[in-house]
Chains A and B, each alone.
Chain A
Amino acid sequence: EPEVTQTPSHQVTQMGQEVILRCVPISNHLYFYWYRQILGQKVEFLVSFYNNEISEKSEIFDDQFSVERPDGSNFTLKIRSTKLEDSAMYFCASRSGQGAHQPQHFGDGTRLSIL
């Protein structure tokens, strides 16, 4: 069964550095998402992406965050200048365009640790 893949599985970065998290969604899916989960807390929506543009973003997704789908297969999340509070698991998800009742499929996440 096709799946969403995320790399790296664990990223350690110094505070203030830029980080790029990568995702390969399921091919032929049209909707793409990023979520984060701070340790012990619930999964929080960051951003949704459709037709090469952001369709919705949360308050968490400030100017330090950006997303891109550079080549039709990868979907990336960039954090420009990381802060300690950015430490979390980041999940990518994708969904097909076939109707409103298709679930989102999640990757296994990237654990981001900011030092």
Chain B
Amino acid sequence: SQQGEEDPQALSIQEGENATMNCSYKTSINNLQWYRQNSGRGLVHLILIRSNEREKHSGRLRVTLDTSKKSSSLLITASRAADTASYFCATVVGGGYQKVTFGIGTKLQVIP
């Protein structure tokens, strides 16, 4: 399998519910990032978690990182219709020019 694989690949929830997306990876990383992509648009950076961190919060977002299991999760609480998008985890190796490897993404649909 490839670096940065998210599951589920598609998720459909009702507005107000929480959405959880998972990401697994294979190699040691410097940090792990989550990005969001609206249809036909670029990638918007959401949150970065360093390899020595276990949990991070930003607004309605909560990210966890388990380096022993090489996995991360992104939780969006109290989802809104505007959260409908694809979410990608990206693993980062290297400190300088950095190599970023994206997963295949989770397509989230929030139904109003």
Interface residues of A (CB under 8 A from B): 4, 31, 33, 35, 41-45, 48-50, 55-56, 91, 93, 95, 100-101, 103-109, 111
Q: Which of B40, B96, B105 contacts A50 (CB 8 A)?
A: B96
Task: Contacts A55-B96, A95-B98 given; indicate if A103 touches B48 (C-beta within 8 A).
Answer: yes
Q: Is the CB of A43 within 8 A of B43?
A: yes
Contact between chains at A109 and B41 (CB < 8 Å) = yes
Residue of A nearest to B2 (CB): A42
CB within 8 Å for A105 and B31 given contacts A43-B102, A95-B98, A100-B98: no
A-B pairs with the 7 shortest C-beta distances?
A: A100-B95, A55-B97, A108-B42, A43-B102, A106-B43, A103-B45, A106-B42
User: Does A103 lie within 8 Å of B102, measured CB to CB?
Assistant: no
A109 — which chain B residues lie within 8 A by C-beta? 41-42
Kindly list chain B residues whose C-beta atoms are within 8 Å of the C-beta of A43. 43, 88, 102
Picked from A48, A50, A101, A107, the residue with its CB within 8 Å of the CB of B99 is: A48
Interface centre among A50, A101, A108 (most CB of B within 10 A): A101
B26-80 interface (Cβ within 8 A of A): 30-31, 33, 35, 40-45, 48, 50
Q: Is the CB of A50 within 8 A of B97?
A: yes
Residues of B within 8 A of A104 (CB): 45, 98, 100
